[in-house]
Amino acid sequence: MEAYIKAKKDRSGKIVYDQEFRAMTKKGEYRWFRTTGRMTEEKKEKTATFYGMLMDIQMLAKAVNNIKMQQA
């Protein structure tokens, strides 16, 4: 949460919020997600917008875990 607040306060867009986390779905399953974003300021309107996205990275997380298990 601290990283999000830091990115939200930065109007230059240089600080990027980027976090991976697990969350429970409506079906009660846990999946891995990644969220990224940055704040940008529109000088003409004197407004700021937080642009970001949320990605389901469950398959990537499983693949990384499988590689780690094979290397152990």
What torsion, rounded to 10 degrees, do the Cα atoms 3, 30, 65, 56 define?
-60
Tell me the mean pLDDT in the region 14-42. Answer: 93
Tell me what pLDDT residue 44 has: 74
Residue 6 has φ and ψ, to the nearest 5°, of -60, -45
Question: Both tokens of residue 57?
Answer: 């990275």
Tell me the mean pLDDT in the region 22-26. Answer: 95
Report the mean per-residue pLDDT for the chain. Answer: 90
Tell me what pLDDT residue 55 has: 96
- Domain map (residue ranges) of the chain: 2-71
Name the residue among 21, 55, 22, 23 with its Cα closest to residue 37. Answer: 55
Query: Could you tell me if 30 and 57 are in contact, meaning their C-beta atoms sit under 8 angstroms apart?
Result: no
Which pLDDT tens digit goes with each residue over 35-69? Answer: 999 998 877 777 888 899 999 999 999 999 999 99
Tell me the mean pLDDT in the region 5-32. Answer: 91
Query: Could you tell me if 17 and 38 are in contact, meaning their C-beta atoms sit under 8 angstroms apart?
Result: yes
